[in-house]
């Protein structure tokens, strides 16, 4: 249901006419004055909604593909048009590209900026949204989408954001250990902008208000003015930069965090190094080697002491005082679990150095055990 039509060669915005002017136009139209729909050039008529919104509609069987719009759509479109005009922007409703590949609900122009607003009350998939938005981007148009039922659709948009976060993971099927997923949580408007470059905002069409991740209710007038000033675009760009920075840190930390988790399994939970040592000790003791080479007993004692040191060192690395991990309570049962402080590259470098220490120890341990396997037993196990 368009707001504008062409009458007597002039473009008319229905709600801009006074009630007297509208009634006069209605009488003239009934007497034969043609009304031409601006969207397609086909015949049209005048109509007033139950809430008094003056608009136009197509004559029967015109074949125009212009979508039928709800009352909320019409009212929000006109409000945005009035706000843009009040800010001294050159403003149009139902503004179309020269080749008619797109028709924007509202278009505002000033200097070298062309800003369009699209009210999307019906459902739309991320793919369809991108297909429509790319038409604007290809022409250098700054587009904004007001999406109704934003939270209801957020799962579709979040799926793309999740794929973005795991894009560079070497083990995409597995969760990176010691990372708190809440670090990467953000709202639908950021999901869409980060993954698709589309500027959007949540719409509550019935009460004509908007919302974002950080603001549950924003008046239409305030938000449109912020968009025209470029502030909402900057908000999205800064949020996206933060998301990209977190993902870069995550990708940088992931190999070391996986390795650190492996050391937890071998050092703490499974006691792999101690089991290997005990197994070899029993074998050496059973064949009488310890009686023939009493220095071996001392060497086994040294290895055992080294394993005790390793566990203490590993636990100290995970302590809050060390600075790498925080311990948080689980939401489910209240148990404490470690979370890596994904704050900076320096934290990641510190973690990488810890892993190097553990790797060197492991290599020395395996080398010492290998000497026992070959009947040697000499050498020093150390870090």
Core vs surface per residue 213-225: b (16+ CB within 10 A) or e: eeeeebebeebbb
Mean pLDDT of 251-259: 95
Identify whether the C-beta of residue 80 lies closer than 8 Å to the C-beta of residue 208. no
List, for residues 329-380, the tens digit of each pLDDT value: 887 777 899 999 999 999 999 999 999 999 999 999 988 887 766 554 443 3
Distance CA 63, CA 78 (A): 25
C-alpha 205: how far from chain center:
24
Q: What is the pLDDT of residue 382?
A: 39
pLDDT tops 60 at residue 173: no
Closest by CA position to 38, among listed 115, 76, 93, 119: 93
List, for residues 53-109, the tens digit of each pLDDT value: 899 888 877 667 666 778 899 999 999 999 999 999 999 999 988 888 899 999 999
For residue 374, the 8-state DSSP code is T
Place 8 in a pLDDT band, splitting at 50, 70 and 90: confident
Identify whether the C-beta of residue 368 lies closer than 8 Å to the C-beta of residue 379. yes
Q: What is the CA radius of gyration of the chain?
A: 34
- Beta strands 90-96 and 103-110: pairing type? antiparallel
Lowest mean pLDDT among 113-117, 147-151, 253-257: 147-151
Distance CA 52, CA 12 (A): 17
């Amino acid at each position: 249901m368009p707001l504008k039509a062409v009458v007597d060669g002039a473009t008319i915005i229905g709600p801009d006419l006074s009630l007297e002017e509208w009634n006069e136009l209605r009488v003239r139209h009934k007497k034969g004055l043609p009304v031409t729909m601006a969207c397609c050039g086909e015949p049209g008529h005048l109509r007033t909604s139950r809430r008094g919104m003056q608009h136009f509609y197509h004559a029967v069987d015109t074949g125009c593909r212009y979508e039928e719009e709800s009352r909320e759509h019409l009212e929000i479109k006109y409000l945005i048009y009035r706000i843009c005009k009040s800010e001294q922007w050159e403003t149009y409703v139902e503004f179309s590209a020269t080749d008619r590949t797109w028709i924007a609900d509202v278009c505002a122009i000033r200097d070298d900026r062309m800003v369009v607003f699209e009210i999307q009350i019906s459902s739309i998939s991320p793919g369809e949204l991108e297909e429509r938005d790319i038409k604007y981007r290809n022409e250098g148009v700054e587009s904004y989408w007001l999406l109704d039922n934003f939270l209801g659709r957020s799962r579709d948009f979040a799926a793309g954001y999740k794929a973005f976060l795991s894009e560079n993971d070497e083990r995409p099927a597995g969760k990176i250990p010691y990372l708190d997923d809440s670090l990467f949580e953000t709202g639908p408007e950021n999901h869409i902008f980060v993954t698709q470059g589309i500027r959007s905002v949540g719409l509550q069409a019935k009460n004509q208000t908007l919302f974002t991740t950080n603001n549950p209710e924003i008046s239409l007038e305030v938000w449109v003015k912020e968009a025209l000033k470029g502030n909402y675009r900057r908000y999205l760009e800064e949020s996206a930069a933060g998301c990209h920075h977190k993902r870069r840190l995550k990708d940088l930390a992931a190999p070391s965090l996986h390795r650190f988790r492996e050391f937890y399994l071998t050092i703490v939970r499974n006691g792999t190094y101690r089991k290997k040592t005990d197994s070899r000790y029993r074998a050496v003791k059973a064949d009488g080697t310890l009686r023939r080479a009493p220095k071996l007993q001392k060497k086994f004692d040294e290895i055992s002491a080294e394993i005790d040191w390793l566990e203490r060192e590993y636990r100290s690395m995970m302590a809050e005082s060390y600075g790498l991990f925080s311990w948080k309570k689980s939401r489910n049962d209240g148990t404490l679990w470690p979370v890596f402080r994904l704050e900076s590259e320096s934290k990641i470098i510190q973690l990488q150095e810890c892993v190097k220490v553990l790797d060197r120890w492991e290599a020395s341990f395996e080398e010492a055990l290998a000497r026992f396997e070959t009947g040697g037993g000499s050498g020093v196990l150390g870090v």
